[in-house]
Copies of this chain bind each other. A is one copy, B any other.
């Protein structure tokens, strides 16, 4: 079969024409619209009480180490705001996230963290559809 009939190449060409050059097999479009496996995501900013960011992060990391259904839980410093922490989460589904809030380690972490938190903002609820590291 000549190289020009390679299905991968044709698929690419087909979708490129759709997207003004994009690559979108129909199967992938379905996946995108529905979320690959009903994944659930959260992005949010937590602002620590002044000077408490490191202590707060240590509690977050300690309390969230083993949560069933958690595919990713990344705690990150904001490079421009010395009190801000960004937490980005990917869960197998929304029920797993809800269930995590009842885990003893998570409940303990919430109780310990509360006095160190000045506020929450920039919260977004997402449907993760794919990517590297999931």
Q: How many chain A residues touch B (Cβ–Cβ < 8 Å)?
A: 63
Within 8 Å CB of A80, what residues of B?
Answer: 124-125
Q: How far is the CA of A110 from the CA of B51 in the complex (A)?
A: 40
> Is B74 within 8 A of A19, CB to CB?
no
* A133 → chain B closest CB, angstroms: 4
Q: How far is the CA of A131 from the CA of B57 in the complex (A)?
A: 10
Q: Which residue of B lies closest to A14 (CB)?
A: B55
Within 8 Å CB of A65, what residues of B?
Answer: 132
* A67 → chain B closest CB, angstroms: 7
Given contacts A15-B55, A67-B132, A70-B132, 20 further A-B contacts (CB under 8 A): A16-B112, A18-B52, A19-B55, A19-B56, A19-B116, A20-B115, A24-B58, A24-B59, A32-B58, A41-B74, A43-B88, A72-B72, A72-B132, A72-B133, A74-B133, A75-B129, A77-B129, A79-B127, A80-B124, A133-B134
Q: Which residue of B lies closest to A87 (CB)?
A: B131
Q: Which residue of B lies closest to A42 (CB)?
A: B76
Q: How far is the CA of A55 from the CA of B18 in the complex (A)?
A: 8
Q: How far is the CA of A88 from the CA of B24 in the complex (A)?
A: 21
16 A-B residue pairs with Cβ-Cβ distance under 8 Å, sorted by A, are A18-B52, A18-B55, A20-B116, A21-B111, A22-B113, A23-B112, A28-B54, A28-B58, A32-B57, A61-B129, A72-B131, A72-B132, A76-B127, A78-B126, A79-B127, A88-B88
